Amino acid sequence: MPLVAEAPEVTDWLNAQALLPFLQEAQVEREFDVHEKNLGYDVTSLDVNSGELRLIEVKGLGAESGTILLTPNERRVAEDRRDCYWLYVVTNCNTKPVLQEPIKDPARFPWHEVVKVQHYWLEVNAMTKPMQLRERPPSYTTGQDQSRSAKPANGER
């Protein structure tokens, strides 16, 4: 069952600052926005009462549902820190954002690799050399023409 909470009107949920009011509402005592440090998560959260550490990755969807993408770095940290890595998904970012139930250890789900085109290549010869004919051109003489013009092997006509 999703945890429904009011969120500020924010469309760029990659900015982890937008999540901090949700964390305060959830009674998390200390949180640090680290999304610009490329650590593989957006927020470090520490509950000073229980000592629970959360490494929180925030993902936002403009609609009620959709696809979540993790970067290779986020996926690596999720795998390495399964004990404290959390995924917070905010849906309806384009209208009235809703924080879904936080997911502990999102690496346990069957994620699928996304393959992107990173480069295209072209041989320089394709640009600098004209097309070349690779087959031998056909002979335009007929078989009879060849027999008349050919000389007999013994020199007779």
6-60 pLDDT, tens digit per residue, is 333 333 344 445 565 666 555 556 777 787 788 999 888 888 788 889 999 988 8
Is the pLDDT assigned to residue 77 strictly greater than 90?
yes
For the segment 84-93, what is each residue's pLDDT rounded down to a tens digit? 999 998 888 8
Check residues 79 and 94 and name the one with the higher pLDDT: 79
pLDDT, position 84: 96
pLDDT at 122: 80
Domain spans, the chain: 16-108
Residue corresponding to tokens 């010869």? 125
DSSP letters spanning 75-100: HHHHHHTTTTEEEEEEE-TTSS-EEP
Average pLDDT over residues 64-84: 93
More confident residue, 126 or 157: 126
pTM above 0.75, yes or no: no
What are the E-state strand segments in 4-157? 30-33, 43-46, 53-60, 85-91, 98-99, 103-104
What is d(CA 56, CA 144) in angstroms, rounded to the nearest whole number? 87
